[in-house]
Structure 1
Amino acid sequence: MTSLFSSPWFYWALGVAVALPTLLVVLTEVEHVLSRRSSPLVRPLHLIRVYIVPLAALLVLLVKASEVSIEATPVRVIATALGFVVLVLLLSGTNATLFQSAPEGSWRKRIPSIFLDVARVLLIVLGVGLIFSFVWGANVGGLFAALGVTSIVIGLALQNAVGQIVSGLLMLFEQPFELGDWLDTPAGRGQVREVNWRSVHIDTGDGLTITPNSVLAGASFTNLSRPTGVPHIAVETTFAVCDPPDLVIALLRTVAGRLPQRHLAVEPTVVPLGAGRYRTSIPLRSPADDPAAGATFLRWLWYAARRAALHLDGAADDPGTEQQRWDAIAEGTRSLRLTRADQRWLLDRARLVRYGADELIEAAGSTPDSMRFVVAGQVMLQTAVEGVQLGVRVLQVGDLIGQTSLTREPVAARAIAVGEVTMLEVDREDLEELVAGRPAMLHQIGQIIDRRRHELRQAVRAQTDVN
């Protein structure tokens, strides 16, 4: 018994017998805690518990308890396996502590993955060399020297390609743009679709422009998706010098404010430039809306200027011949069943107006000051349900809007032009004179108001049942 306690291997064996299960239990509990917290340290701790601790215990038992020579092949094999696992632990732990847990926007989060891959390869080569050198006694100096010379030769032979790759890596590290950003570069203006080591793919609308990283890194470009403020588009227009500037400015602001691409938090601005020229600055939600916003603004402005009797580009609207207006009155006012005398009375008081496709004719919640009859085209009535515009009814030729102009009540649904629409417009004062002493006509208008409200309630109820 005395010889047992005096033997050196006894205490090594006893230490392994006590320390190994204790460490395994503690590491298992810690791993469960980190797993519940979704910590990036779970994988490194798993390597320690499953591989490093048992291999280290086995190595201690062989060398210290069993007194096997460190030159023996089994010891070297176990030491090599332990060295490989420690190398994997260093790589995994470094990645978890430095990069996976890095805060957003820090340099550790922005570093490209290729840099990490290159660093991993270098560490693996260095680690494997140290393992073979210390465990197996191999001479790895010549191998490192050969790798260095080979790298120099390859770098000189592929310096152009390597230069583009390095430029791309540096640009990725800086991250001046991301996928989906809009760039204005010397090669074109468009949206970034792909970024790789060699080039950047930009969708310009006319095709995919492939710009080498070295060219883009050496040139100046503008990231339109990261402006100092809200992106804007500036549109210059020309009106006749006889048009009142205040009326023109009010018209430009109204048309720009109704664009679906407009940024709702910023109002459009209009600056008169003299000689009938005006510059309208329209805030946009995204640079991607630039072409659509400019085209829609100019299209809607053409119709709005003619309705306001202003002369866009010096042109005036054609009010139509007397016969055309007579036909429009006969066709458009069918819902009111006007007599021949009433239609003739409206001939000098009603006017023809036109609206462009998707243009807002009447806003929900507004109180109309005129009644409009559909002469050509279609009008969609819509109402907002949980932030989504819901179609209520499509008005055809002969239908009317602005039915609450006489009662001076706000309308519940908005009216949108479906394609180009021609309408016959009658002011409230003329309507009051027309319906004076005609209770039957007032009753017809009241029925139209009640029918529209019923249709609106039905549409909202149907949408609510679907949701």
Structure 2
Amino acid sequence: MGAILDPSDARMTGGGAVNGHLYDVAWFRWLVALCIALPVITVVLGELIHRLQRRDNHLEATARAIRHTVAPALALALFARYVLRIESETWTQVLDTLVWVSAINAALSLVNVVLFQRAEQSTWRARVPRLFLDLTRFLLVVVGATLVLAAVWDSDIGGIMTALGVGTIVIGLALQETLGSIVSGVALLFERPFAEGDWIRVGDTVGRVVDMNWRSVRLRTFDEDIATIPHLMIAKDLILNYTEPAKLHIERISIGFSYDDAPNLVKRTMLDIARSTEGVLMDPPPEVHTLSYDDFSIAYEVRVYVEDYGRLLEIRDDFTTRIWYAAKRAGLTIPFPIRTLHFFDGQTLRADKAASDLAQGLSATTVLLPSETSDLAATGVGATMLHFGAGEYVVRAGDDGGTLYVVVAGRARMVIGGHDDEQIVLTLGRGEFFGELALHHGESSPVSIVATEDVELVALSAEAVQQLMTTRPALAREVDDIAGARRRTIESVQRLGARG
């Protein structure tokens, strides 16, 4: 440090420090100051950025702008002016312009953080789209750069604006698609069909919006991939928003079951599965619809309501997995999409199956003796198996008699009155019969019989019943007693209804 400058250094020091110490020279003091200050500022800003990042503070962006652009640009300008003593006015103006543009960019970043990114969600500032802020910031930087050029370079603003206008036209012709994406992005800002965090579908791509910049929208798909879709493509395609205006989403799941499975049993099973699946809403309730009768199965569609679209794959997987177990428990068959050829005597096989079903159904009744049921099942004359779905009318009040029905499975209700003022007389279950009022007395039915749930019945014709009563008179008396008791019950219900 005690070395004396060579006389040739007088040019750099202005000729006033030939016999002085090195630290007495102005350019050396600037060099030392810059060598110390720039690393210190860089380290301090780096630590500040690290702390802000851990606290998830948006001021991190401003600190980065100062560390990466403003501080280096300012150090470079000071180094060139006071250490290298560059006398070229052009280089000085270039460096000054670089410093001012960097400072303007950092200042706009600070304004953006203070006014918008730290704003509360309930304020209008929080609802300003990021793309609009980016475009506004870019325009302000351009305006600031224009003012800097006018001040530093002593240029005519009118000339600069003219040059910018001509340049804009040339750039616009060269970048038509890119500018089209920007214009489409601005249109999306005003329309706001979605926002960051929404689950949307654009064309065949489904994902959650993670970013929306001046050129494109980025979606994170279910596969954790990032799909980048330009605004120009979004403007030309259909957009489905699964999050707004309501988070409610209907998921449709199709499934096929065998023709041997009663549709209402299938529907009850599917509803039970839906109600037990986590993530499926109970309000609105799930729905099951019969879609079509296909080649090898009856097609059903289950509609479940989901609020968290991000869990859709998980909920769907849980539901479809439970279908197999529930179908096994309920005795339902999910058929293979194949054709099976059977070589048999069709008439014989159908007759054997009908006789077996009839025998099983007749065994449910308590009014017929085993020998009587076996005889009816063997001959099949005057006895038929019938199936009714929940809500269907088996008999309507006023229908002509002539058939006695025995409940094999399920439940039905005996009612009087119309649909709006229906009054239940009694409920009929397995082994009970009805139709005796019209059959025994030869009159039209005074009541209606409605299937409360899916019900299987054996229908006995008047001839078959008459033959049974002829061979066993006690049966006629038993049916007559039941008919009289039910008639009194009907009259009692009618009197109560009249009083009400």
Name the TM-score, length of structure 1 as normaliser.
0.41
Superposition TM-score, scaled by structure 2 size: 0.38
Higher CA-based Rg: 2
